């Protein structure tokens, strides 16, 4: 886990991918728990989708410059 974090930090989008990895890990863990915390999983999915939209938007703006 620590090695992955170091690897992510060396890349420009490292923080984003580290957060994404963390959210995905938590979601998988909660699914293994039996789906008792379905609301948290849905909110996690919304956060992931929002981050992806934000990332694609910023990349498009960077290409325009």
Q: Phi and psi of 5, rounded to 5°?
A: -60, -45
Q: What is the pLDDT of residue 1?
A: 46
9 belongs to a structural domain = no
Spatial distance between the Cα atoms of 47 and 11, rounded to a whole number of angstroms: 22
More confident residue, 31 or 9: 31
- Contacts for 37 with CB less than 8 Å, ≥ 6 apart: 30
Spatial distance between the Cα atoms of 25 and 14, rounded to a whole number of angstroms: 16
Q: What is the mean pLDDT of the chain?
A: 73
Q: Which domain holds residue 39?
A: 19-64
Residue 16 reports pLDDT greater than 80: no
Residue 23 reports pLDDT greater than 70: yes
Q: Please tell me the number of Cα atoms within 13 Å of 19 on its side-chain side.
A: 13
Q: What is the pLDDT of residue 17?
A: 73
7 belongs to a structural domain = no
Spatial distance between the Cα atoms of 19 and 29, rounded to a whole number of angstroms: 15
52 belongs to a structural domain = yes
> Domain total for the chain?
1
């Amino acid at each position: 886990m620590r090695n992955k974090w170091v690897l992510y930090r060396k890349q420009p989008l490292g923080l984003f991918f580290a957060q994404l990895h963390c959210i995905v890990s938590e979601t998988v863990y909660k699914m293994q728990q039996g789906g008792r915390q379905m609301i948290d999983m849905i909110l996690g999915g919304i956060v992931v989708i929002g981050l992806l939209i934000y990332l694609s938007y910023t990349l498009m703006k960077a290409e325009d410059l």
